[in-house]
């Protein structure tokens, strides 16, 4: 697949300061740059991460289907050791700014 209109729009928004890049770090050390609007919520970050992974997999010809319900049941996002537990809370309320790193961490069993 070619570059999508959504990706172009994200880059334009970044240039105009209307969006920010949040680097999502996986346990294996891989970092995924995810673009979200400045006042994005945790849920919007999760959706942007999902789109990023789906596009990347389509381009690489990898696994086509991932169960995101399973992923969010098994993993959570953290920033500076704090879980991003409230999907409706804005990223800036957690102190997340442009180019900050958010970790993708496996939940511990209770």
- CATH code reported for the domain at 5-106: 3.10.20.90
Q: How far apart are CA 102 and CA 77, in angstroms?
A: 6
pLDDT at 96: 96
What pLDDT, on the 0 to 100 scale, is given for residue 94? 96
Provide the pLDDT for residue 17. 77
Q: How far is CA 7 from CA 40, 44, 55, 93, in A?
A: 16, 15, 10, 26
Question: Quick one: pLDDT at residue 74?
Answer: 93
What's the pLDDT at 110?
62
Those residues of the chain that have pLDDT short of 70 are 1, 62-64, 109-110
pLDDT of amino acid 1: 54
């Amino acid at each position: 697949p070619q570059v999508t209109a959504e990706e172009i729009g994200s880059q334009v928004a970044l240039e105009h300061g209307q969006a920010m890049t949040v680097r999502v770090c996986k346990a294996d050390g891989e970092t995924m740059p995810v673009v979200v609007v400045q006042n994005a919520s945790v849920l919007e970050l999760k959706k942007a991460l999902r789109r990023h992974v789906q596009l990347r997999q389509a381009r690489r010809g990898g696994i086509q289907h991932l169960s995101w319900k399973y992923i969010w049941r098994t993993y959570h996002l953290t920033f500076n050791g704090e879980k991003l537990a409230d999907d409706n809370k804005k990223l800036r309320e957690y102190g997340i700014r442009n180019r900050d790193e958010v970790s993708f961490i496996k939940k511990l069993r209770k």
